[in-house]
Protein backbone atom coordinates (compact mmCIF):
# COMPACT_ATOMS: atom_id res chain seq x y z
CA UNK A 1 0.00 0.00 0.00
CA UNK A 2 0.86 3.67 -0.07
CA UNK A 3 3.58 4.95 2.27
CA UNK A 4 4.21 8.63 2.95
CA UNK A 5 7.44 9.83 4.54
CA UNK A 6 7.69 13.35 5.98
CA UNK A 7 10.76 15.36 7.00
CA UNK A 8 11.83 16.96 9.20
CA UNK A 9 9.97 15.87 12.31
CA UNK A 10 10.70 19.19 13.99
CA UNK A 11 11.55 22.56 12.48
CA UNK A 12 12.38 25.80 14.21
CA UNK A 13 12.70 29.04 12.24
CA UNK A 14 12.97 32.72 13.04
CA UNK A 15 9.90 34.82 12.50
CA UNK A 16 9.92 36.22 8.99
CA UNK A 17 12.05 33.41 7.58
CA UNK A 18 10.79 30.64 5.32
CA UNK A 19 9.96 27.07 6.29
CA UNK A 20 10.04 24.05 4.01
CA UNK A 21 8.61 20.62 4.79
CA UNK A 22 9.12 17.69 2.44
CA UNK A 23 7.21 14.49 1.78
CA UNK A 24 7.73 11.49 -0.43
CA UNK A 25 5.16 8.91 -1.46
CA UNK A 26 5.48 5.42 -2.81
CA UNK A 27 2.46 4.76 -5.01
CA UNK A 28 2.62 6.40 -8.43
CA UNK A 29 -1.19 6.15 -8.64
CA UNK A 30 -1.58 8.82 -5.94
CA UNK A 31 -3.11 11.93 -7.44
CA UNK A 32 -4.18 14.18 -4.57
CA UNK A 33 -1.80 15.70 -2.02
CA UNK A 34 -3.24 17.84 0.79
CA UNK A 35 -1.41 19.58 3.60
CA UNK A 36 -2.97 20.00 7.02
CA UNK A 37 -2.20 22.20 10.00
CA UNK A 38 -3.17 20.81 13.38
CA UNK A 39 -3.11 22.67 16.66
CA UNK A 40 -3.08 20.78 19.93
CA UNK A 41 -6.35 18.98 20.55
CA UNK A 42 -7.96 20.32 17.39
CA UNK A 43 -9.01 18.86 14.07
CA UNK A 44 -6.62 18.95 11.09
CA UNK A 45 -7.22 22.03 8.95
CA UNK A 46 -6.63 21.87 5.23
CA UNK A 47 -4.24 24.67 4.30
CA UNK A 48 -3.47 23.82 0.70
CA UNK A 49 -3.75 20.88 -1.67
CA UNK A 50 -2.53 19.94 -5.10
CA UNK A 51 -3.55 17.43 -7.72
CA UNK A 52 -1.15 15.41 -9.80
CA UNK A 53 -1.87 17.36 -12.98
CA UNK A 54 -0.39 20.51 -11.42
CA UNK A 55 3.24 21.12 -10.51
CA UNK A 56 2.83 24.06 -8.15
CA UNK A 57 0.10 25.90 -6.31
CA UNK A 58 0.30 29.04 -4.24
CA UNK A 59 -2.03 30.71 -1.77
CA UNK A 60 -0.63 33.89 -0.26
CA UNK A 61 2.30 32.85 1.97
CA UNK A 62 1.82 29.14 1.38
CA UNK A 63 2.87 27.14 -1.65
CA UNK A 64 3.08 23.48 -2.53
CA UNK A 65 5.25 21.92 -5.22
CA UNK A 66 4.88 18.45 -6.67
CA UNK A 67 7.43 16.36 -8.54
CA UNK A 68 5.58 13.32 -9.89
CA UNK A 69 8.69 11.76 -11.36
CA UNK A 70 10.53 11.79 -8.07
CA UNK A 71 7.31 11.19 -6.11
CA UNK A 72 7.82 14.00 -3.69
CA UNK A 73 5.98 17.16 -2.73
CA UNK A 74 6.87 20.06 -0.49
CA UNK A 75 5.18 22.75 1.57
CA UNK A 76 6.71 26.21 1.56
CA UNK A 77 5.70 28.88 4.06
CA UNK A 78 7.19 32.32 3.54
CA UNK A 79 7.32 35.28 5.94
CA UNK A 80 6.53 33.01 8.85
CA UNK A 81 4.56 34.35 11.79
CA UNK A 82 4.17 33.06 15.37
CA UNK A 83 0.65 31.83 14.55
CA UNK A 84 2.16 29.46 12.00
CA UNK A 85 3.49 27.39 14.91
CA UNK A 86 1.67 24.04 14.81
CA UNK A 87 2.04 20.47 13.59
CA UNK A 88 1.83 20.08 9.83
CA UNK A 89 0.89 16.86 8.08
CA UNK A 90 1.18 15.92 4.44
CA UNK A 91 -1.02 13.23 2.95
CA UNK A 92 -1.53 11.36 -0.28
CA UNK A 93 -4.66 9.90 -1.76
CA UNK A 94 -4.88 7.11 -4.27
CA UNK A 95 -7.42 7.45 -7.05
CA UNK A 96 -8.99 4.06 -6.36
CA UNK A 97 -12.02 3.05 -4.33
CA UNK A 98 -12.79 5.37 -1.43
CA UNK A 99 -9.69 7.51 -2.09
CA UNK A 100 -8.52 7.23 1.49
CA UNK A 101 -5.74 9.46 2.78
CA UNK A 102 -2.38 8.21 3.98
CA UNK A 103 -0.66 10.68 6.28
CA UNK A 104 2.96 11.52 6.83
CA UNK A 105 4.43 11.45 10.32
CA UNK A 106 4.02 15.17 10.90
CA UNK A 107 6.34 18.14 11.41
CA UNK A 108 6.25 20.28 14.51
CA UNK A 109 6.97 23.81 13.33
CA UNK A 110 8.01 26.42 15.85
CA UNK A 111 8.32 30.07 14.87
CA UNK A 112 10.66 31.96 17.15
CA UNK A 113 9.83 35.63 17.65
CA UNK B 1 -20.61 24.65 4.25
CA UNK B 2 -19.04 21.17 4.57
CA UNK B 3 -19.24 20.87 8.34
CA UNK B 4 -18.64 17.63 10.20
CA UNK B 5 -19.52 17.27 13.86
CA UNK B 6 -18.58 14.65 16.42
CA UNK B 7 -20.16 13.76 19.70
CA UNK B 8 -19.04 13.57 22.40
CA UNK B 9 -15.98 15.82 22.29
CA UNK B 10 -14.48 13.94 25.20
CA UNK B 11 -15.43 10.90 27.24
CA UNK B 12 -14.03 9.03 30.20
CA UNK B 13 -15.06 5.43 30.71
CA UNK B 14 -14.05 2.51 32.86
CA UNK B 15 -12.11 -0.43 31.54
CA UNK B 16 -14.41 -3.10 30.12
CA UNK B 17 -17.22 -0.78 29.14
CA UNK B 18 -18.25 0.32 25.64
CA UNK B 19 -18.29 3.82 24.21
CA UNK B 20 -20.11 5.12 21.13
CA UNK B 21 -18.85 8.08 19.11
CA UNK B 22 -21.06 9.79 16.53
CA UNK B 23 -19.90 11.53 13.37
CA UNK B 24 -22.34 13.67 11.41
CA UNK B 25 -22.09 15.58 8.18
CA UNK B 26 -24.27 18.63 8.83
CA UNK B 27 -24.77 20.18 5.42
CA UNK B 28 -23.90 17.52 2.90
CA UNK B 29 -24.43 13.86 2.23
CA UNK B 30 -21.48 11.62 2.86
CA UNK B 31 -21.66 8.19 1.30
CA UNK B 32 -18.22 7.49 2.75
CA UNK B 33 -16.80 8.47 6.11
CA UNK B 34 -13.39 7.69 7.54
CA UNK B 35 -12.35 6.97 11.12
CA UNK B 36 -8.87 7.84 12.36
CA UNK B 37 -7.05 7.36 15.62
CA UNK B 38 -4.31 9.69 16.79
CA UNK B 39 -2.06 8.95 19.75
CA UNK B 40 -0.21 11.82 21.44
CA UNK B 41 2.49 13.35 19.25
CA UNK B 42 1.74 10.91 16.46
CA UNK B 43 0.11 11.07 13.06
CA UNK B 44 -3.43 10.20 12.08
CA UNK B 45 -3.83 6.52 11.43
CA UNK B 46 -6.78 5.39 9.36
CA UNK B 47 -8.78 2.75 11.19
CA UNK B 48 -11.61 2.09 8.77
CA UNK B 49 -13.63 3.37 5.87
CA UNK B 50 -17.34 3.55 6.54
CA UNK B 51 -19.76 3.18 3.66
CA UNK B 52 -23.45 4.01 3.93
CA UNK B 53 -25.56 0.90 3.92
CA UNK B 54 -22.70 -1.58 3.83
CA UNK B 55 -20.01 -3.04 6.02
CA UNK B 56 -17.01 -0.96 6.93
CA UNK B 57 -13.59 -1.72 5.51
CA UNK B 58 -10.98 -2.00 8.24
CA UNK B 59 -7.28 -1.32 7.90
CA UNK B 60 -4.81 -4.06 8.62
CA UNK B 61 -4.32 -4.58 12.33
CA UNK B 62 -7.59 -2.95 13.39
CA UNK B 63 -9.91 -5.36 15.21
CA UNK B 64 -13.32 -5.16 13.59
CA UNK B 65 -15.02 -6.84 16.54
CA UNK B 66 -13.59 -4.28 18.91
CA UNK B 67 -14.23 -1.18 16.84
CA UNK B 68 -17.77 -1.48 15.53
CA UNK B 69 -18.71 0.94 12.78
CA UNK B 70 -22.23 1.63 11.60
CA UNK B 71 -23.06 4.00 8.75
CA UNK B 72 -26.83 3.94 8.88
CA UNK B 73 -27.57 7.08 6.91
CA UNK B 74 -25.94 9.50 4.50
CA UNK B 75 -25.16 11.88 7.35
CA UNK B 76 -24.30 9.66 10.31
CA UNK B 77 -21.59 7.15 11.09
CA UNK B 78 -20.91 5.73 14.54
CA UNK B 79 -17.84 4.11 16.05
CA UNK B 80 -18.33 1.92 19.11
CA UNK B 81 -15.27 0.95 21.09
CA UNK B 82 -16.26 -2.28 22.81
CA UNK B 83 -14.69 -3.59 26.01
CA UNK B 84 -12.44 -0.57 26.15
CA UNK B 85 -9.01 -0.82 27.78
CA UNK B 86 -6.55 1.89 28.80
CA UNK B 87 -4.54 1.32 25.61
CA UNK B 88 -7.62 2.42 23.62
CA UNK B 89 -7.27 5.88 25.11
CA UNK B 90 -6.69 8.14 22.14
CA UNK B 91 -8.04 10.99 20.02
CA UNK B 92 -10.58 9.63 17.54
CA UNK B 93 -11.32 11.75 14.47
CA UNK B 94 -13.79 11.17 11.69
CA UNK B 95 -13.86 12.71 8.24
CA UNK B 96 -16.22 12.72 5.31
CA UNK B 97 -16.16 13.44 1.63
CA UNK B 98 -18.92 15.07 -0.33
CA UNK B 99 -19.00 12.70 -3.23
CA UNK B 100 -21.54 14.79 -5.08
CA UNK B 101 -18.86 17.37 -5.67
CA UNK B 102 -15.67 17.07 -7.66
CA UNK B 103 -13.46 17.98 -4.72
CA UNK B 104 -11.14 15.40 -3.27
CA UNK B 105 -11.20 17.20 0.05
CA UNK B 106 -12.04 15.36 3.25
CA UNK B 107 -13.81 17.36 5.94
CA UNK B 108 -12.73 16.49 9.45
CA UNK B 109 -14.74 16.40 12.63
CA UNK B 110 -13.41 18.09 15.78
CA UNK B 111 -12.37 14.78 17.30
CA UNK B 112 -13.29 12.84 20.42
CA UNK B 113 -10.80 12.37 23.24
CA UNK B 114 -11.36 8.98 24.85
CA UNK B 115 -9.81 8.20 28.21
CA UNK B 116 -10.21 4.69 29.59
CA UNK B 117 -9.49 4.32 33.29
> Which pLDDT value is given to residue B100?
67
Nearest alpha carbon to residue B59 among B37, B32, B90, B92: B37
Per-residue pLDDT of chain A (113 residues; tens, 9 = 90+): 889 999 999 999 999 999 999 999 999 999 999 999 999 999 999 999 999 888 999 999 999 999 999 999 999 999 999 999 999 999 999 766 678 899 999 999 999 99
> Which pLDDT value is given to residue B102?
62
B4 has pLDDT over 90? yes
User: Which residue did the predictor score with more confidence, B73 or A111?
Assistant: A111
Report yes or no: B7 at the A interface, CB cutoff 8 Å. no
* Chain A neighbors of B109, CB-CB under 8 A: 43
> Which pLDDT value is given to residue B53?
83
Q: pLDDT (tens digit, 9 = 90+) per residue, B81-99?
A: 999 999 999 999 999 987 6
Cβ neighbors of B25 (< 8 A, separation 6 or more) are B3, B4, B33, B74, B75, B76, B96, B98, B107
Interface test with B, best of A9, A103, A107, A108 (most B CBs within 10 A): A103
What does the alpha-carbon distance between residue B84 and residue B88 come to, in Å, rounded to a whole number?
A: 6
What does the alpha-carbon distance between residue A64 and residue A46 come to, in Å, rounded to a whole number?
A: 13
Report yes or no: B42 at the A interface, CB cutoff 8 Å. yes
- Chain A and chain B share a number of CB contacts under 8 A equal to 49
* Chain B neighbors of A102, CB-CB under 8 A: 46
Amino acid sequence: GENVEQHPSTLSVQEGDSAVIKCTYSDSASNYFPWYKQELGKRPQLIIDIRSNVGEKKDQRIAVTLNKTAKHFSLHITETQPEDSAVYFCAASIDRGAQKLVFGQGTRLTINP
Amino acid sequence: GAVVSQHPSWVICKSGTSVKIECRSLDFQATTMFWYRQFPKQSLMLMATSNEGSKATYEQGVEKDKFLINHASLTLSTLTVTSAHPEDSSFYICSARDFQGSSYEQYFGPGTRLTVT
